[in-house]
Each structure stands twice: as structure tokens, then as C-alpha cells.
Copies of this chain bind each other. A is one copy, B any other.
Amino acid sequence: MAINKTIRPGLIQLRVLDLDKTLDFYKNILGLDEVCRTSDGRVCLKAYDEFDHHSVTLKLADTAGLDYVAFKVDGPETLENMKAATEAFGYAVDEVAPNTDQPGFGKRYGFTIATGHRFELYCDVDLSAKHPGLKNPDIWEEEPRGMRATRLDHFLLYGPNIAESERFCQEVLGMFVPEVCNTEDGSRMATWITGNNKPHDLAFVEYPQAGKIHHVGFYLNDWSAVGNAADLIAINRLKLDIGPTRHAITRGLSIYFWEPSGNRIEVYAGGYTAYPDNPQRVWDASELGRGLFYYSGEVIPSFLEIVT
């Protein structure tokens, strides 16, 4: 039997401490476009290569971090099926009415997963006014800025009981799990999960505190774009965490750094083409350093310790 599909993680709402300075980063360094502002002062942004209304919402708050992530699914029937499946899985589902807090978005269903994160699902969202061309299109409509992030790519969430969250993504969201990392006693330490051919749409690391986010990943075109992003990190005096480097896990090329509000951002390129029939790659916890940071082979302390 064919299963329902999520199309992609399509929206993330992040808390920021200094809206102007942080917005300058997202717009002029990362390269997103500001789409609109909400009546309560949040700012909606999108990457130049995305079609939908917006993919990132910034909200002024006292702490940095993640409010929620929302996944686009492939139609209203899937949306209702997934709502029912979520409830059957054991999570209470609430409903956000269309066009309330996220301009351009239709009805969303929300719920909290085992790791303490709020996930949402939706199938309807307006096209943005500014999107890739459709009639004899050039490769972009307006020259990309800064790091030239092409789209929201993935996020890494920290929390307890990732095994259940992983199972939820498979059973309810129709995703598969290209790579996992297990502790010596066989329990899940980390898991990389996708709903399509990207090696991950999201990932989890087992962590005692619920609802934490490690980083949000934006996609760059290639290793040269990663180098350009590193130059911009240096020139703009952003705080580097690690990189440019490669993950053996997903094979992605990567830099981690912090935006001005302290949310860790990854700019990410490459990665293998993930197919659901490929065998799962399995990492031992003792090899995780090499899996994460292939060149040094060592986990940096900040990877395990700093989350928002």
C-alpha cells in the first residue's frame, strides 16, 4: 500500500533577540527576501528559490530558539489522513485557522512529538509574489545576495525519546531513515530522516531536555558557495562553530555558525541522493565524531552542549 507523503519542511518560526540586527543577517548575509510583517511584528522571509509564500518567520522574544516547524503535505486528503494517524499515534492535535498567524498559509494541524517539539502540517499555502520564473525562466529573477541560500533545507532537534519521534516520522509522515547512530547498548543516539531524495529533512539527537533545537540548515549550491559563506562569516564577524567541513553522515558540506540572536545556522551543500530502497547506514556512537566532522574526526564540545 502506498503511503502518504510530506513534501518538505516548509515553514519554521524562530525566536530572535534583536530583530533589526538579526533580520539584517537573514536578509543581507544569508540572502533571504523579506516577504511581509505580521500585525504583531513578526517578519516573514523566504529564499530566492522557494515558491511558497514564506518559509521562515522571525519573532522577537527573550530567548532564542524554535517555536515550531511545519511540513507541507501533498493535499487535503493526506492532511486529514495524517491528522487522524497522528491522533491514533497518541498525540493531541489542534488546528490553526487559515491566514491567522502565518500570512498566506491555509489550515494547519499542530501537535507535540515525543522530543517536545511542536510540529505542524498543512497543504495549502499561497505562492509568493516573488518566486522563480515560470515562463522561459532565467536561473534567477533577481541576483541572489550574500550566501545565496536557495531554500530552507533541514533542522536538527534535541530532546528525549528520539526513537519514538523517528517512528512517528516514518509511520505517520511517510518518511524514511537513511542514517542512524546507536550507542553501545543499541539505543538510538541520533537519527537522520527524510521524506524525499534529500539525505535529511530533519534529524534528532537524544538529549534530556525537551524541545531544543541545535540548528536550522539552509541549502547552498555547492562547495564553492560554502567557501563564499565562510568568507562572509569572517567579514561580518559572525561567530563560527565549525567548518567548512564535511559530514560523513549525509555527506553534506557544511558550516555551523551563530546568527546574531544565537540561533545556530548551518549552510549546507551536497549530500547524497537518498532513495527509500537504499539500505540504512548505521553509525556507532564511538565513530560519531568522524560521522559528524569527517575531516577532524572529533566531536567538538559545542556540538553536544550548545542548543537553544
A270 close to chain B: CB less than 8 A: yes
A306 adjacent to chain B (CB < 8 Å): no
Query: Is the beta-carbon distance between A134 and B279 smaller than 8 angstroms?
Result: yes
Q: A51-B279, A275-B7, A279-B51 are in contact. Are A270 and B134 (CB under 8 A)?
A: no
Q: Beta-carbon contacts of A66-78 to B below 8 Å, as 1s and 0s?
A: 0000001010011
Does chain B have a CB within 8 A of A84?
no
Q: Choose among B139, B253, B290 the residue that contacts A246 (Cβ–Cβ < 8 A).
A: B139
Query: Does A295 lie within 8 Å of B243, measured CB to CB?
Result: yes
In the assembled complex, which residues on chain B have CB atoms less than 8 Å from the CB atom of A51?
277-279
One complex includes copies of this chain to the number of 4
Give the CA-CA distance A280 to B132 in the complex, in Å: 11
A273 at the interface (CB under 8 A from B): yes
The reply on A235 being an interface residue by CB < 8 A is yes
- Most B C-beta atoms less than 10 A away, residue of A5, A151, A248: A248
Interface locus among A33-41, A97-105, A226-234: A226-234
Give the interface segment out of A161-169, A183-191, A203-211, A281-289: A281-289
Interchain CA distance A227-B148 in the complex, whole Å: 15
Contact A198-B136, Cβ < 8 Å, known A51-B278, A223-B227, A234-B246: no
Question: A281: which B residues are within 8 A, CB to CB?
Answer: 132-135, 137
> Nearest Cβ in chain B — how far from A77, in angstroms?
7
Whether A240 is near chain B, meaning CB under 8 Å from some CB there, is yes
Q: Which of A258-308 touch B at CB < 8 Å?
A: 270, 272-273, 275-284, 287, 290-291, 294-297
Question: Is there contact, CB below 8 Å, between A246 and B231?
Answer: yes
User: Does A120 touch B at the CB level, under 8 Å?
Assistant: no
Cα distance, A51 to B277, chains bound together (Å)? 9
Which residue on B lies nearest to A298, using beta carbons?
Answer: B240
Q: Does A129 contact B (CB under 8 A)?
A: no
Contacts of A234 in B (CB 8 A): 138-139, 246, 248, 290, 294-295, 297
Closest chain-B Cβ to A245's Cβ sits at a distance in Å of: 7
| Cβ contact within 8 Å between A296 and B240 | yes
1-26 of chain A: CB within 8 A of chain B: 1-5, 7-8
* A136 and B246 in contact, given A222-B222, A295-B233 (Cβ under 8 angstroms): no
Taking CB atoms, residues of chain B closer than 8 Å to A197 are 196-198
The CA of A3 and the CA of B78, in the complex, are separated in Å by: 11
Residues of B within 8 A of A245 (CB): 230, 244
